[in-house]
Structure 1
């Protein structure tokens, strides 16, 4: 089947919650994704195969030049097939079209090859405070 990618694509909270739980290894929580994303995000990209949500990435922003990749997720049975890279590439294109000059991401060490090599991010110094 063909995988399609849609900027600000439609989704139901339940499908995204299941995908998030699969991607990040936690129980399904019943979050209100749509309302939160519409309030805080520049946009998001949905990946579908046969109408089923198999990937997602959120693009938060500061309302100006900076956008931020959050919650890149791909269903376990679709990993290593380029879905994540296509999600981030699509998100970057739409962030650029919206006038953003920078796309930021933070990630755990095991994701370094994905973000730096596959997606083209470059390493920068950054800081983090656990709250």
Structure 2
């Protein structure tokens, strides 16, 4: 049974395993700053195993931002990401955000539309 948990504190090893499966690399040196400094985050668990994650970043005011939507490759296409997005939306609303933003690649548009996001124009600059 998959459970969705608000603000879990998985260790870096669990986050790296998920990140490697979902993104093809191990991610940042440590995930702990991400877990401690945003508006919140949501995890999906199969028993004790972290199999999904969404970060809710925040501008300190009324805008929140979805980042790092991740589901382990073995669990994709089961509705887990939508469940994560639903809970992340609730958390952002409960914690005072009035706007929830997300940027995504064109191939993910149908997913984010299904999750309730409308179309916007945005810009992006790579800094590294």
Post-superposition offset of 1:9: 1.0
Deviation string 1:48-105 (CA, Å, 9 cap, x unpaired) is 0121101000000001100000000001111110000000110000100011001100
Structure-1 residue corresponding to 2:14: 15
TM-score by length of structure 2 reads: 0.93
Where does the alignment leave 5 or more consecutive residues of structure 1 unmatched? none
TM-score by length of structure 1 reads: 0.91
Structure-1 residue corresponding to 2:33: 35
Matched residue SS, 2:116: coil
Q: CA RMSD in A?
A: 1.2
Q: Do the aligned partners of 2:19 and 2:27 also contact (CA within 8 Å) in 1?
A: no
Structure-2 residue corresponding to 1:57: 54
> 1:70-109 to 2 correspondence within 5 Å?
70-109=67-106
d(CA) in 1 for partners of 2:28 and 2:60?
Answer: 28
d(CA) in 2 for partners of 1:93 and 1:52?
Answer: 23
Q: Do the aligned partners of 1:47 and 1:53 also contact (CA within 8 Å) in 2?
A: yes
CA 1:29–1:62 in 2, change beyond 3 Å: closer, same or farther?
A: closer
Q: Do the aligned partners of 2:9 and 2:35 also contact (CA within 8 Å) in 1?
A: no
Where does the alignment leave 5 or more consecutive residues of structure 2 unmatched? none
Q: Do the aligned partners of 1:16 and 1:53 also contact (CA within 8 Å) in 2?
A: yes
Q: Which runs of 4+ in 1 moved over 4 A?
A: none
Q: Do the aligned partners of 2:56 and 2:88 also contact (CA within 8 Å) in 1?
A: yes
Post-superposition offset of 1:21: 1.5
Post-superposition offset of 1:29: 5.1
